[in-house]
Amino acid sequence: MKLGAFSVSLNVKDIYTSKTFYETLGFTVFAGDIEHHYLIMKNDDSIIGLFQGMFEQNILTFNPGWDQNANTLDDYDDVRAIEKHLNINNIKLERKIEGNKSGPASIVFYDPDGNTILIDQHI
């Protein structure tokens, strides 16, 4: 399966403090809006999302159809094909795709240790 760009979405207590901390580690703001309490930061091909007050735990995020620079890929597995694969393999989905046959959609499930995994397709 081709899951696309990978990032870790972090639940942070203070986005300004976290931004400064990750800048010290060499990350720079790539996308987002600090006034709306979220930033996407990059250090080479490493991507982290900082999210204040949006969810309770950290999330492993995959973006089908995107590379690590949010460029659209020509060849990728659509999130609906990934959902079908997970269903066939008895992976319980917390959030399924409802209705739409193409375009942006997302699914959520948990790994065996309870870590949240988000497959979030933007195209």
38-47, 59-68, 80-89, 91-100: the lowest-pLDDT one: 91-100
CA–CA separation, 40 and 32 (whole Å): 6
**Both ends of the chain: CA-CA distance in Å?**
17
Q: What percent of the chain has pLDDT over 70?
A: 100
Q: What is the pLDDT of residues 79-122, one digit of tens each?
A: 999 999 999 999 999 999 988 789 999 999 999 999 999 999 99
Q: What is the pLDDT of residue 38?
A: 98
Between CA 28 and CA 32 the distance in angstroms is: 11
pTM, to two decimals: 0.91
Span 17-31, pLDDT tens digits: 999 999 999 999 999
Q: What residue ranges define each of the domains in the chain, with the CATH number in brackets?
A: 5-121 (3.10.180.10)
**What CA dihedral angle connects 97, 101, 106 and 111, to 10 degrees?**
60
